[in-house]
Amino acid sequence: MNKKGKRKINVCVQSVAFVLGCCLCFTLTAVYGQSDTEQPETFSAKTFLPAASLSKTLRQSAEKASPSVVHIQVSHRRSVSPGRSGRAVIMQVEESGSGIAADIAGKTVILTNRHVVAGNDADSIQILTKDRYILKVLNVTENEDFDIAVIDVSGKLPPPVVFGNSDELAAGGIILVLGSPFGLERSLSLGIISAVGRRSIPGNGAATPRIGFFQIDAAVNPGSSGGPMLNLDGEVVGLSTAIATQGGGNEGVAFVMPIKTVLRIAEQLVKTGSVVKAYIGCGFDASFSMDDRRRLGIDRFIGSRLKTVEPGGPAGTAGLKTGDVILAFNNVEIEEDSHIVLLVAESETGKPIPLKINRNGQTLDITLTPATQLSR
């Protein structure tokens, strides 16, 4: 290449470099909003629109539900370890929880967890509203299997909550929790749904596989039980029920009962004073291993094997036998024993349900009709 050609290329390169330099300078000035002599703008959450918008949404959601949330104080006597005299000491103990005002079957009642008020009479339960009114407790109707209590009250009733659709919730969704942790009334915490459909709570004997809990990471502590979980519209989508903890406090693993389940139980308690549930009359084999599954041609850890079948019960009438493996219940694949217990609990009694089973390595289709059983 001759010298003239080289000069033209050098001029072109220098021109491009100059233009790119100008563009970079312009871009940096536009992004940071300053030149060498200008001062940086002070950051403010009010000018950061996404944060300001979310903050406003959270505040409005809490304000919408807060008037319907009540503080529950329970006072009772408890026998503690013997003192120096060798005799047990009886102490007056006060414990707190939360609840919500709800319109159930045309009647305003207070909903909470059974364990908040269990074993206490009406006179030992005090309910305080946001406006500082004390409600008179008339009666408590409770269900142990589902850990739900309905409290009949009189006085200056708070407005009932607005319920949302708990079926719409999924892992990753933002939620709010209101409650009275350690007696601190109307405390608000923020978190996300960590998982859905949890059927057991580590270290909690009160957990029941009849409920598919939401697992959340919001701060839930003793005293939060019975308080509402809210969506971003301020609608109640669950009741805080339990925590998994080694130290007795919040460790970021809490469990919330879906409001759909709460309402199903509460409506029965209000209308009849009791709860009925579906049952199929069989027991499951907890020792059913992966090796057992492979011998039956099941190559994944699915299904529940029947250990017992009640003669004349729904399962026996449908033709199920000991050793059968239920692979699907109402077209839902069974993961393990607690999964089918939950599906049965959510079933409608008297309605035929299709089952897919494995019997000695062969797949069969069977129809079963759950019967009605009185819940505790």
29 belongs to a structural domain: no
The tens digit of pLDDT for each residue in 4-50 reads: 444 443 444 344 344 344 443 433 343 344 445 555 555 555 555 67
Same domain, 306 and 363: yes
Among the candidates 104, 131, 154, a domain finishes at: 154
pLDDT class of 71 with cuts at 50, 70, 90: very high
142 belongs to a structural domain: yes
108 belongs to a structural domain: yes
- The pLDDT of residue 31 is 38
14 belongs to a structural domain: no
How far are the Cα atoms of 19, 29, 330 from residue 12, in angstroms, in the given order? 11, 26, 74
- The pLDDT of residue 37 is 53
Same domain, 173 and 263: yes
The tens digit of pLDDT for each residue in 235-254 reads: 999 999 987 777 666 677 89
Same domain, 227 and 311: no
The tens digit of pLDDT for each residue in 162-194 reads: 999 999 999 999 999 999 888 888 899 999 999
Among the candidates 224, 245, 271, a domain finishes at: 271
**Does position 119 have pLDDT exceeding 90, yes or no?**
no
Region 221-226 average pLDDT: 88
The total number of structural domains that make up the chain: 3
How far are the Cα atoms of 304, 306, 327 from residue 281, in angstroms, in the given order? 14, 10, 17
262 belongs to a structural domain: yes
Same domain, 110 and 135: yes
CATH (domain of 128): 2.40.10.10
Same domain, 77 and 103: yes
Domain limits for position 260: 166-271
Same domain, 264 and 170: yes
Region 75-100 average pLDDT: 72
182 belongs to a structural domain: yes
- The pLDDT of residue 344 is 93
pLDDT class of 371 with cuts at 50, 70, 90: very high
Among the candidates 271, 295, 319, a domain finishes at: 271
267 belongs to a structural domain: yes
Same domain, 173 and 252: yes
Determine the 3-state secondary structure of 195 from DSSP: strand
Same domain, 137 and 219: no
- The pLDDT of residue 12 is 41
**Does position 350 have pLDDT exceeding 70, yes or no?**
yes
- Helix H segments across 90-248? 114-117
Same domain, 209 and 267: yes
User: What CA–CA distance (Å, rounded) separates 334 from 337?
Assistant: 8
Same domain, 177 and 258: yes
As to burial, measured by CB atoms within 10 angstroms (0-12 exposed, 13-18 middle, 19+ buried), residue 47 is exposed
172 belongs to a structural domain: yes
The tens digit of pLDDT for each residue in 303-345 reads: 999 999 999 999 999 999 999 999 999 999 999 998 999 999 8
The mean of the pLDDT values for the chain is 84
Catalytically active residues, by annotation:
115, 147, 225
Same domain, 263 and 285: no
**Does position 205 have pLDDT exceeding 80, yes or no?**
no
User: What CA–CA distance (Å, rounded) separates 341 from 200?
Assistant: 12
CATH (domain of 315): 2.30.42.10
- The pLDDT of residue 252 is 74
Q: Where is average pLDDT lowest: 86-90, 216-220, 225-229, 365-369?
A: 86-90
Same domain, 171 and 259: yes
